[in-house]
Each structure stands twice: as C-alpha cells, then as structure tokens.
Amino acid sequence: MTQMFRMASGGIVDRSRTIGFRFDGRAYQGHPGDTLASALLANGVRLVGRSFKLHRPRGIFAAGAEEPNALAELRTGARREPNTRMTQIELYDGLEAASQNRWPSLRWDLLSLNGLIAPLLSAGFYYKTFMWPASFWEKVYEPLIRRSAGLGRASREADPDRYDTMQAHCDVLVIGGGVAGLAAALVAGASGVRVMLCEQDFVLGAGLIGEDEAWRSAALERLAGMANVTLLARTNVFGAYDANVVGALERVADHVAEPGAFVPRQRYWTIRAGRVVHATGAYERFIAFPDNDRPGVMLAGAAATYVARYGVHPGRRALLFANNDAAYQSLFTMQDAGVTVAGVVDPRADSAAQAAARARGITVWSASQVVGTAGSLALSGARVARIGSAGTDTLVAADVLCVSGGINPAVQLATQSRTAVAWSERLASWVPGAALLPQFSAGAANGVTGLREAAADGARAGAGASGAPADALGLPEDRPSDVTVLPFWEVKGSGKAFVDIQDDVTADDIRLAAREGYKHIEHAKRYTTHTMGTDQGKSGGLVGAAVLAEARGERVQDVGMPTFRPFTSPVTWGAIAGTSIGKHFAPTRLSPLHEWHVKRGAVFMDAGQWVRPAYYPAPVDGDGWDSVLREARAARRGVAVCDVSTLGKIDVQGRDAAVFLDRLYTNTFSNLPVGRARYGLMLREDGIVFDDGTTSRLAEDHFFVTTTTANAGPVMQHMEFYLQTVWPDLDVTLASVTDQWAAMSIAGPKARATIERIIEGLDVSNEAFGFMAVADATVKGCPVRVFRISFSGELAYEIATPAGHAQTVWNAVLEAGEAFKIEPYGVEALGLLRIEKGHVTGAELNGQTTAADVGLEKMFKKRGDFVGKVLSQRPGLTDPSRPRLVGVRPVMRGDQLRAGMHLVESGTTHSLGWMTAVTRAVELEGWIGLAMLRDGVARIGSRMQAASPLHGALVDVEIVSPHFVDPENARVRV
Amino acid sequence: MRYSGLRLFAEALRGNSGWKPAWRDVAPQKSYDVIIIGGGGHGLSTAYYLAKEHGITNVAVLEKGPIGLGNTGRNTTIVRSNYLLPQNHFFYEKALSLWEGLEQDLNYNAMVSQRGVINLFHAEGTRNAAVRRGNAMLLDGIDAELLDKEQIRALCPLVDVDNARFPVLGGLMQRRGGTARHDAVAWGFARAADQRGVDIIQNCEVTGIDVEGGVVTGVRTTRGRIGAKKIGLAVAGNTSRLAQMAGLEVPIESHVLQAFVSEGVKPLVDQVITFGAGHFYISQSDKGGLVFGGGLDGWNTYAQRGNLPVVDHVWSAGIAMMPSLSRLRGLRQWGGVMDMSFDGSPIISKTPIGGLYMTAGWCYGGFKATPGSGWCHAWTIAQDAPHKLNEAFRLDRFRTGHLLDERGNGPFPWMQ
Amino acid sequence: MIRIDCPSCGGRDEVEFAYRGDATVVRPAGDAGEEAFHDFVYRRANPRGWHVEWWYHQAGCRQFLKVVRHTMTHEVHAVARAGDRVEVPAAEHTGVPAAEHKGVPAA
C-alpha cells in the first residue's frame, strides 16, 4: 500500500495525478505539489540520512531551507547534485534520489560504530592528536578523515544544463512571498512603482494554506494583474550587497527531470533596488534535549506544514514539546487533521494555549520537559519529567515529537546590509533594528507574527517603500498565535543533546569549548563547527549560543551571534558563471584578417584575449619549427607579411599633443617632423618601463601612437589619467583606434619591390621615403597609411588601413609579392626575427625592468619632466650590477636553449640571470636567446652555463651582444 | 597540559572534564618588555618566537577582539614557498620549514597538509615565467616540478585541459606546498606562547602609541595605558591606522579579498590548484568543503565584505578551470582586509621610530608566512636589526628603489 | 556592488569603471625631487572613513571621476568630474542612505 500517511483531503497537492519516484532505489508514489520530503513522509519513510560525524540515523526535521538532516544526492550521472534538501526538492515524475554519507546502506552504516567512540570524538579532538609521526598526517590520518568527512558525492562530469543571468532594476524589492511580503507587494504595486517579489518557495503565501485561502487567492490574483509587479517564485535572495543590490537564484527548471529545450536550469539575478522590504519570515528553533536527533523529532511548524500544505500525517501519534503558545496551533492543526495527539510537554506552568489544549482533551504536562527519546531508527516515544523532579520520568509513546523553542526572525539579509539587531525579550531572539539603507523589515522577519498582524506590518512596509497609503488593504483572518516564549534552550540529561544536528555538535561540545577557553561565540563556533553545516544553524544557532551563554555565566544576548554571512541558502556554482562558460569564459578578439588565416590553415595561439596566427604550416614542413624557420627566412631573404592588427593604436590630437607626448615618453616628440615616426619608451611613475612602440606625427597637432598588444588598454588609461587629472590644461584629445585600423608589416629585402606595385600616390623609394617616414596613400582605392618602420630588422613597411579594407589590401600585398615568393608569417617567426635583432618585448619589459636594464638608458631626454623620470634615479634602480640585457648562444651549437633557464657560473647553482626568450635562428646556426644577466655588459664574451633543473638541462653558453643580426641597423635603411 | 592520543583517551573516559583552557585569560600588567599589537597568527607567532628563540617572555599580545579572527581566520589556508624572487622564496621557505615541524613544536595539530600546490599555465609567456620561477626555486634548494598537460590531466582529472577558452599547457607544482587549518594556527601559537609566559590579552584595543623623543614608551588602550620598551605591529589590514598613531604614513592600502567555501562533498580536489587565465584557486578542506577565491575587489576598504562582481568573476573562472564544479553549491562568502603594499611584497622591518617594529604589507600572502613572519619579526625586535631573511623587506625600500615586485604590477595596490 | 552616479552617463555598476586610487595626492612639479615623488607614488593616508578616489569610466564616457566614498560603509557621497572640487563630509556617516544620493554638482 502506498502513501499510507496521505490524508484523503487537504493541502494543495494534486491528488488527481500520481507520480512515481525512487529513493535509494525503491519506488514510491507522490503527487504534484509534493516535495521529496512530504512524499517520503506520505509513504512512511522515516530514516533518510546519516549524520556527519557519528553517522547517527536521521529523519526529516523541517519543511524548508532550515533542514539539517534530509539531504540527498538528487538525480544521477552528470546531473547528480549532492546535499540537496529533500524539503525543497519538488517532486517530479521519475525523480531519483539517494541518501548519502553511509556505507554500505542507510540502515546498516558501518561508520555508525563511531557512536561507540563518541567521547573520543569530542569538540576539537583532532587538534590534540594525529601528530605522531609527522609524516603520517598526509599518508594515514588525513585520507581517513577526508574519506569519512564530506557529505554527498559530486558528479565528476561536465554539467549538461545551461544557466542564465539577468540584470534587473526595480523601485521596490520585496524579499519573501509570505503574507507580509504579499501585503507589501500589493501596497507598493498599487502605487505604480516597479516592484519585484522574490520567494524561495515554489508557492506564494504558503502560510495561508489551510488558514485564509480566500485572502491568498485574491492577493495572488491582484498581483498577477499588476503589470508593474514581477513575481519570482522559486527564487532565493542569497545575499545583500552594497547599495541595495542583491543576488538571487531562480530555480527555473529544477522541478522537472530535465530542462526543456532553450530553458536554463537556473537563473542568477542581480537586482538593483531603490528600496528593499525584508519579509523573509522566521525560522522555528528547536530545544536541545537528550537524543533530540532521532528520526521522528521534527520542528512543530514543519509537522503542521506537512499536514496543512501537503495533506500528510508526519506520524500517527504526535507529542509536542514547546515553550510558546504559537506552537500549540501546529498541534491543533494536526489534531484537526486526524493525527492522534499524545500530549504536550511544556516547561511553563500555565498559559492560554495550555488551557485550550486541555479543552480539546489533550494531556498537558506543564512545568515539564522531554528528558530523552526512545526508538532506534525511528522514534517510538519520549521520556517526560517534571522540571526539578529527580529520577522519575514517564515514557510517552509517540512516533512524531514536535519541538518548538520559539522563532528566530530571518534577519540574515538585513544584517548583511549592516542593520544592527536588537534583542527581543518576548521572542528571546534577535530582531532587526533601524535600517541604514532604505530598507524595511516586515512580518515575522520583523518579529511580528500572526497572519493578520504580519499582513498589516507588510502593508506598512510596502507603503513606506513606495510612498503609497497602506490602509486600503484588507487583512486575512487568523487564529490566536502568541509567540511569547519562556526562554528555554536545553534539557540536561544523559544522552547527546544536539545544538547542531547536521554537524553532530552537542551542548557538551559547546561547554567543552568554553572550558578550554574558546569562549567567544566565533571561537566556540569554529572549535566545535557549530552552525557551519549547510543549514548554517538556522534552527540551532541560537540554541548553541544559549548553551555557551550559560557556560560563561552570561545572558544569551550578551554572547552575541556569529556574523550572518552570505549565502542565506547555498548557491549553485554554475548559475553564477551563467553563460560565461567554456569558450565564452572570456571575449575572443580576432583580427579583421582572421578568416584569411583560418583558410590558410594557420596554427593559432592566444595572446591575451586575441587569437593570433602562430605560424602557417605548409606541406613541405616536417614540423612547426620548419614552418617558423621558413617564414623567417622569407623575411630575411625575400619578403614576408605579418598581420599586426592587434597592436594597440591611439590617436592623439590637439594643440598640445606634442607637449603631452614629451611628458609621457622618456624621449622627445615635439621635435619630430610631420611625416616621421619615432620609437618611444614610456615609464611608470615609479621609474620602471611601462611600454614601448612607435609614434608617428601625421600633422603638427596629430600623432598616431602604437602600443604593445598586451598594453593597449593600460596605456590608454595611463594617458587619460595624466591628461585628465595631472595636466587638464593641455589641449589634447585621445581616441583608442586599435579595432578601427588593421595593420600589416611587409618585411624583407623585397619589401619595397612588393609594395611599389600596389601603393598609389606615394613614392616609396629610399630617397623619397626613407627609414621612419610616414605618409598616406591608397592601395586598390583603399586609404592606407604607410610607415617605414621595422621590428624584424629588415627593410620593412607597415601598412595600416581602416579595418573594413584589410582583406583587400592584404590580398593586394600577397598578389604583389607573389613574384618574390612572399610568405605570410606568424607570431612565432615575428619572435624569432626580433630575438635575432635584440628587440625587447613583454618578455623583457615585464614590469620589473628599467630602461638601463634593457640597454635603452640613452632614450632619456636630458631636459624636461617626464613620467617616471625622478623615481627612476633611485639607487635601487640605477645600481650598475642590476641584470642587463645580453645575448646567449650555446657553445655546442646543437644544444637547445629554453626560456626560463638561469645563468650560472659553471659548476655553481647561484643564479646570476635568466633567459627571457629563445629561438632557433635563421641567420645563425642553432639556438640563440636573450637574457637578463647581472653585470651583463661586463660578461659579454665570457662563458657560463644555462641551467633548467626543471628539465634536467645544463648547457654551456657564451654571453654575446643581444644584437645577433645587423647590429649597425643598416638593413632597415637600404 | 600536553595533548596526546593517550590524554584524549583518558579524558574520554572521564567525560572530557579535565581539559584546561588553551591559554590564560589575563588582564594587562602595567608594562612589558615587548608589546605585540595584533593577536592574529603573525602577532601570536612573534610572541612565541620571542619567548622560544630569544628568551624574551615579558611579552603581551594585545588584541582588540578575540584572537585569530582577522585574516588568520579568513584566509584560504594555503602554505607554499613557490616565489620567483630570491628574497621572497628564501623567506617563504623558512616559513614552510617551520610549518613542517609546527605541530610537534607547538603540540597542537594545525593539520599542515603537504598535498601539493599546482599553478596552471595556458600560454607560452606564462609558461616561460613559470619555468623561470621553478628553476629559481630549484637552484636555491626549494622543490619544484614542471608538469606537462598529460600530467595535469592525470593528477587533476577535473581540470578542463583541452576544451577551455584557454587550454592548459602545463603547470608548475610544489609538492611540499599545501594547506593548514587556519584557526588551529592561531590557537596553537596562543597556547604555546601562553605556556612560555606570554600574556594574551583579548578585547584590548590600542587607541594610541606613545612616542617620546622618537622612541616608543607604551600604548594607550581601551583597558588603560600599558608601558613598553618595544612595540611590534602585527595588524595587517590596519597597519596604516596603527602606524599613524605613531606618526608614520606607510606605503600600504587596505583592500578586501573575498573567499568562499562550498557545501561539503566527498574527496574531489586533491591539491591546491591555481588557474592561470583568471583569478581563481581552489583546494578542499578536510571537512569536505571546497575552499576557493580569486582577486581583490579592487578599491580601498576596511569592510570585511565584498561585492558581486568579484563573485561573478571568481566563480566563472572556477567553472572555466573545472567545468564539473557547476552543480556544486557555494555555502559561505566572506572577506578579509588586506594590507596591500606598493610592490606586492611584505614589510618586516624597523621603523624610523625607536623601538617600533612592524610585520605588515602582507597583501594576500600572509597566512603562509605566519611562522616565518613571527620568527623574523621576533628576531628583528630582539636584535633591533633585521635577520638576513627579512633584510630585503625594509620599510625604506620604496625610497631607495630596492623594490620586490614579484609580478611586475607596479605601485598600484589594487592591481597586485 | 558599488554604484557610481556618473555625471555624464547616470548611475552605473562598479564593473564599468577602473579604480585608480587616492585622488588627494597631487603629482609634484618635475623638479620637486625624489622625496616629493616618493610621497606622490607611495605615501597614502589610507583612511578608514571617507576616501576621495579616482574612478575611470572605462566602459562609459572614459572620464576620470572624483568619487567620495566611505571605506567602511561603501556609501558614495559625491561623484564629480576630475577638475571639480568635492566636499568630504565631516561626519562618519551622512545619515542619508546610499541609494538616496545623487552626484553633487560641481562646486
């Protein structure tokens, strides 16, 4: 027989449909509207998990986000999610879930033997042992601890589902869709402002079910009709951040087996709210008493929820242990629904609810407490004794023990917004104080309980948040519900009284922590792991604090509470990543010639966000090096063309453009004639080299600056900073034009012969257009700028053209160069050529080097200020023994060099320098490299060793000039 | 009271009733030879090594709240010495060697777990930098290993080696690196220092530092004035404020660094792994939670909380590195206030004020330095001169230009 | 989330901006000497309280903005253009919630 605990009517489950699911492999049935927890209870399943440390049997304890015990591995394979709360899993057809942290089975769990040695496993036991011998920690103790710790098992496969992100703005954000939140949204919505309401549950107004259903449906209908109101069910606000910005997670498709096509599994909302209403409700707290963790012990409100909302009897015979009248309503709800009531145990001498209970024929043990529970894998009864009476207790048969120690308003989000909390004597709990941000707390979150009062409080908050009047709202009917408590936290006795049920932290553990000096609440928390489970101590946090207070001889409110850090409920990792996954983790920047490179079969490499051709394999090439060497040879001996569009380009215009550049660069630009380019070196203000590149003067008041690919953004910001904040009086305008201009470098002895065929309107002869000349021209009708500059050390021209013309110009160059067997060359050959030439790049200019370190000290102008000038003269930066740029060649030309090798005197291990870049050369035999070497200039001509102990490599090398090819720089001028 | 398995057993038999406080709760005396301001790992270890190595036991550690709850209790627990610059790696290697014997020395299990630290690289340039760093370490006697992508695949099966936006080329591994239980470090040092006679004074906030004739004479606190011959600052995150009490303005800014822990799961990540194409690193605590973090929020703050943009970036980088983390859930988020120095390296130094010393500017690398910082700080205080291991960590290096810019980011603390 | 009310673009998230540190230090004249440049680059008040700082609206108007922000509450009190003067509140907290603030006009 299935669903033997399901009531014939009541609740909002859809009994017309039956859905099947599996738990630990066994098939069960439930209804739409169920959670996994309610469906398991309907089927009489009591034992659902094992505890973290002692592997004690555990049952369903709550009905919502505060659940400590009922955690499952939901789904299977790549979709398996560990630690999912059964109380929040919406039942769907075919659902599969498994209990966790047990072996070999839930009923027979080997590690439950831990219970026998529990006294050894007291708080902090691991800090006091496992120290001998030292090497055993990683080999023996830690693997054992790691295997037995943890909760569920994570999937090791890629997540097949997708996630979405949303950026939202609203005037009023209502957090919580209980009665207070609905009232707030109704009032704010009626005022016409933009309202959003987030509710973590899959139904709104759940607390009204079985109470005032009419008010609930009317409210939901009205809200649905307001175009300015966005209702987000299944959406938990997980954290409050500065300036009323919150993060929320919407479970879009967790209630189906798999998300449909084009539907994300979850959606991450960033919501910027003008005003926020915290209608986050309250969490019922338990009382610590011996064996208060046995399956069948349940929060009173949760037990009533299973009856009223799900139509499920959480047990056949219920006993209530409570210190407040409101909890009696939970018992009455159960009694009205046909659950046999065993009675009430109440530490208070008398109360209105006690009288009401007696009037209902319920036995009330007043001034009494539960001193223990009976049963093994499920509760069979509770032992009840009068407070102060020694010895005698009565065993009361019950299979569900409803517990209520009062309520804790859910102040987490308010405190994250820096709202201070105040102690409420009536609730014996913390309530929110005055908000610092434009925020309002309402309903149970504000310590206001009872449907009617909470609705009124919500309406007030909605009015405050929107400026609308609140009085028009009709209020729901409710029953008397007084949450005034007798502060009552713990029943001392033999047996474990848990204050953190998930992490197996007992009241004794808290006392032990206090005894050992871990008396501050944060110390006690960390020493015992109290409140550090996935439920974050929602129902037991204050109980532990109270035990600590007693141990310290202080009041609970003087002990304080640990900081409520985000997240209010655990947040799915993939949802935060959203769509920024896989190839979309970072933007991909492509040259306008990218498609051509692809067609040509280039091998690509990442350069920051850019994807650039590394080299272009040809059928004749045996390996990548063959390609690189072939391309570089073409540049040295014939002609080759390289796509250099990724270089940063900044257009600098204005009357003071030249003065501005003089102040930014170590060298002078004001004396640069129009139509000429000059290499420039730029420092940071601390005197370290920042960037280099050529700058061309296109007109008296117009310069074109190039930067390295990596520094395009930072240089632009650097320029703007000095222009706007240091020299705002200068008449200069800057524009980044990196993406607007494509650029290609045509290099090699045949470079001129190649471009002569296509350049229109410009004489590119050496006489008319010498080294470092710049001019406008056209190619196939496309406007181009021609720069006679060279990075390769060969006769070279750089042609820049608006990006849209890139392909036309590139094709023209290739066609013109065909006669000279022109080759495209990639970044690898570019690197080879520059190393042969001894030009520096980011490998040398890595933010640690001075101009002198790389042999560029002569680029400092003698007169006038420039950025970095003063601090570059500090002794630590002018020390002549600093590592300096040199060239390196292996003595045995066949030996391989590696970037990152260190240079040492033969036979020693003391590093004197390191190799920044290496390559096989085309102009020389074998490998060459650049290095930064202490006393480098003095060591030129000497022999050392290049060591890479990581590779087991040690190579005899000679230190040479870094300019391997054409040190006189004659080739560029032919 | 000595901790041992036997003791644990004996106490278990008598209901754990015999355990004594780990450290005494004491009120301040009128004066001390040395006052350490800051009861985090660095302050407590300074006091411990002053007593142990230098026989200076008339020492008080003043902590404005409870001990160990600043950055000591907020970090991601990584220990390693895989630094490029020799001044850095020799110092951190000293710290690592102290970690290796810490539990036996302190008689407190700080769960130092040498599970290995792997830095992934994804491009030629970063590979070359890793090779340079690894070789620098090996030449100076510190362990390092270069892993190719097949080794990464075998060691870290969750890492997306091939299909990521930035495929993995390999990694640099320090096997002796790993993690330690951060709270236990503070508690262990407190207990051991206390046993050697150090007074640990909690809830005692320093409100002023008295300087006469250029020399310190004591501190003013919320519990009265306390005299001192020497004062050591170990207040990372608040160094600027404390130094200003003595009239010093230091090259430090305060920034928040966030960290995260996931729900506990069975063993999943066996090493400490750092991503090379974004700010992200991860390890798994012995309790089962994945502990992870990334970069700074990037603006001055003293608030121990961060904001969503960094959450977005760090978590995205996590998925980029290990796509199968997607269905796991983050449990908690927190922030610590970092002492960001202007070259990214620490300061353990004398100051222009006589008798005033500091261990500061730890950026986000302070935890791993804890025993080394205390050891060198204690030496500097006791000898009134830096030890060889910390002579490069001088406060005046920003004037002289002897910068220790490990990563070349320049004088921009928010970019370090 | 720090929200900055850009005088050109309106209220925007911090992600559109690049932070550039303390805006109270002033670059000295070129001949002011090493000490002055040391202080400009390295010496910082690093206040726990109101901080005047540069934010570069990189993904917006590309203007450097002068922002007065509290380093404990993160409240943004004022946002001004680079050349404008800003007023730093005397009180720890202005008493007006952050979201109420608009950028103060140039003084």
For residue A25, the tally of other CB atoms under 10 A from its CB is 8
B99 in a structural domain: no
Using the predicted structure, report yes or no on whether residue A21 has a pLDDT greater than 80: yes
Which is more confidently placed, C49 or A115?
C49
A585 in a structural domain: no
Interface test mutation site (partner A, options B163, B328, B391, B404, max chain A beta carbons within 10 A): B328
pLDDT value of position A482:
87
Q: Which chains share 3+ C-beta pairs under 8 angstroms with C?
A: A, B
The model's pLDDT over A547-566, given as tens digits with 9 standing for 90+, comes to 999 999 999 999 998 889 99
User: Helix, strand, or coil here: B122?
Assistant: coil
Domain ranges of chain C: 3-100
Using the predicted structure, report yes or no on whether residue A782 has a pLDDT greater than 50: yes
pLDDT value of position A553:
97
Q: Where does a domain end: A374, A405, A436? A: A405
Residues of chain B neighbouring C72 (CB-CB closer than 8 A): 301-303
Q: Render A67-128 in DSSP notation, one character per residue.
A: -SS-EEEES-GGG-EEEEETTTPBP-TTEEEE--S-SB-SSSBGGGGGGGGGGGG-TTGGGS
Nearest to A690 by CA among A715, A658, A727: A715
Q: Where are the beta strands (DSSP E) in A452-508?
A: 498-500, 505-506
CB C103 within 8 A of CB C5: yes
Same domain (yes/no): A6, A145? yes
Q: Determine whether the interchain pair A536/B401 forms a contact, defined as Cβ–Cβ distance below 8 Å.
A: no
pLDDT value of position C100:
35
Same domain (yes/no): A114, A95? yes
- Residue span of the structural domain in which A968 resides: 879-974
pLDDT value of position C105:
28
Q: Which residues pair with C40 in a beta bridge?
A: none
Using the predicted structure, report yes or no on whether residue A954 has a pLDDT greater than 90: yes
How many structural domains does chain B have? Answer: 2
Residues of chain C neighbouring B299 (CB-CB closer than 8 A): 2, 14, 19, 53, 69
Q: Which two tokens stand for residue B353?
A: 């004020």
Q: Which two tokens stand for residue A604?
A: 């690509």
Q: Which of C2, C31, C38 sits opposite A242 (nearest CB)?
A: C2
Q: Where does a domain end: A736, A754, A787? A: A736
pLDDT value of position A299:
98
Which position has the token pair 């070196």? A681
Using the predicted structure, report yes or no on whether residue A469 has a pLDDT greater than 90: no
The model's pLDDT over A658-696, given as tens digits with 9 standing for 90+, comes to 999 999 999 999 999 999 999 999 999 999 999 999 999
CB pairs under 8 A between B and C: 66
Using the predicted structure, report yes or no on whether residue A969 has a pLDDT greater than 90: yes
Asked whether the ipTM of the predicted complex exceeds the cut of 0.95, the reply is yes
A871 in a structural domain: no
Same domain (yes/no): B246, B295? no
- Residue span of the structural domain in which B131 resides: 112-178+253-341
How many structural domains does chain A have? Answer: 6
Q: Where does a domain end: B317, B341, B365? A: B341
Same domain (yes/no): A300, A269? no
Q: Determine whether the interchain pair A870/C37 forms a contact, defined as Cβ–Cβ distance below 8 Å.
A: yes
To which H or E segment does residue B53 belong? helix B41-54
Same domain (yes/no): B326, B366? no
* Cα(B379)–Cα(B385) distance, integer angstroms: 8
Q: Determine whether the interchain pair C21/B301 forms a contact, defined as Cβ–Cβ distance below 8 Å.
A: no
Contacts of A281 (CB under 8 A, 6+ apart): A176, A178, A180, A207, A409, A410, A443, A444, A445
Same domain (yes/no): A180, A196? yes
DSSP H helices in B291-415? 308-321, 366-383, 397-400
Which position has the token pair 């707290």? A285
pLDDT value of position C92:
64
A201 in a structural domain: yes
Phi, psi of A523 (to 5 degrees): -65, -45
* Cα(A396)–Cα(A663) distance, integer angstroms: 89
Instruction: Give the pLDDT mean for A122-132.
Output: 89
Measured between its terminal Cα atoms, the distance across chain A in Å is: 98
* Cα(A900)–Cα(B123) distance, integer angstroms: 14
Number of residues that make up chain A = 974
Topology of the domain comprising C3-100: Folate-binding fold (3.30.2270)
* Cα(A932)–Cα(A853) distance, integer angstroms: 8
Same domain (yes/no): A445, A527? no
To which H or E segment does residue A364 belong? strand A364-366
B104 in a structural domain: no
User: Which residue does chain B place closest to C18, by CA atoms?
Assistant: B298
For residue C91, the tally of other CB atoms under 10 A from its CB is 8
* Cα(A49)–Cα(A31) distance, integer angstroms: 23
pLDDT value of position B408:
94
* Cα(A933)–Cα(A849) distance, integer angstroms: 12
Same domain (yes/no): A171, A143? no
Same domain (yes/no): B241, B353? yes
The model's pLDDT over A623-647, given as tens digits with 9 standing for 90+, comes to 999 999 999 999 999 999 999 999 9
Using the predicted structure, report yes or no on whether residue B355 has a pLDDT greater than 60: yes
pLDDT-derived band at B219, boundaries 50, 70, 90: very high
- CATH code of the domain in which A516 resides: 1.10.10
Same domain (yes/no): B192, B230? yes
A743 in a structural domain: no
Same domain (yes/no): A140, A189? no
Q: Which two tokens stand for residue A258?
A: 């798999």
Q: Where does a domain end: B341, B360, B375? A: B341
A589 in a structural domain: no
pLDDT-derived band at A1, boundaries 50, 70, 90: low
* Cα(A147)–Cα(A126) distance, integer angstroms: 15
Q: Which of C21, C38, C73 sits opposite B414 (nearest CB)?
A: C21
* HEC readout, A744-769: EEEECCCHHHHHHCCEECCCCCCCCC
- CATH code of the domain in which B392 resides: 3.50.50.60
The model's pLDDT over A693-750, given as tens digits with 9 standing for 90+, comes to 999 999 999 999 999 999 999 999 999 999 999 999 999 999 999 999 999 999 999 9
B30 in a structural domain: yes
Same domain (yes/no): A447, A526? no
Instruction: Give the pLDDT mean for A66-88.
Output: 97
Instruction: Give the pLDDT mean for B341-349.
Output: 97
- CATH code of the domain in which B292 resides: 3.30.9.10
Q: Where does a domain end: B307, B341, B375? A: B341
* Cα(A87)–Cα(A94) distance, integer angstroms: 17
CA distance A437 to chain C (A): 5
CA distance A268 to chain B (A): 10
CA distance B366 to chain A (A): 20
Ranges of chain C whose pLDDT falls below 70: 92-107
Q: Where are the beta strands (DSSP E) in C1-107?
A: 3-6, 10-13, 18-22, 50-56, 64-70, 76-81
For residue B351, the tally of other CB atoms under 10 A from its CB is 22
Q: Which of B302, B303, B309 sits opposite C15 (nearest CB)?
A: B309
Same domain (yes/no): B232, B195? yes
Same domain (yes/no): A360, A345? yes
Q: What is the mean pLDDT of chain A?
A: 96
Q: Which residues pair with A747 in a beta bridge?
A: A640, A796
pLDDT value of position C99:
35
Model-level pTM greater than 0.95? Answer: yes
Instruction: Give the pLDDT mean for B211-231.
Output: 98
Same domain (yes/no): A248, A319? no
CA distance A729 to chain C (A): 10
Nearest to B123 by CA among A477, A238, A612: A612
Tell me the torsion sign for CA atoms A470, A474, A476, A481: positive
Nearest to A247 by CA among A221, A273, A228: A273
Same domain (yes/no): B216, B238? yes
| Residue B19 Cα distances to A763, B2, B191, angstroms | 93, 10, 13
Q: Where does a domain end: A387, A405, A423? A: A405
pLDDT value of position A371:
97
Residues of chain A neighbouring B104 (CB-CB closer than 8 A): 131-132, 134
pLDDT value of position C104:
28
Same domain (yes/no): B171, B186? no
pLDDT value of position A113:
86
Using the predicted structure, report yes or no on whether residue A155 has a pLDDT greater than 70: yes
Q: Is cis: bond before A133, omega within 30 of 0?
A: yes
Same domain (yes/no): A398, A290? yes
Residues of chain A neighbouring B325 (CB-CB closer than 8 A): 154, 573-574
CA atoms within 13 Å, Cβ hemisphere of A179? 29
User: Which residue does chain A place closest to C84, by CA atoms?
Assistant: A725
CA distance A524 to chain C (A): 27
| DSSP 8-class letter at A809 | H
Same domain (yes/no): A683, A543? no
A197 in a structural domain: yes
Interface membership of A685 toward B (CB under 8 Å): yes
Q: Which two tokens stand for residue B279?
A: 């700010």
Same domain (yes/no): B162, B300? yes
Nearest to A527 by CA among A126, A150, A115, A52: A126
pLDDT value of position C96:
41
DSSP H helices in A757-824? 806-817
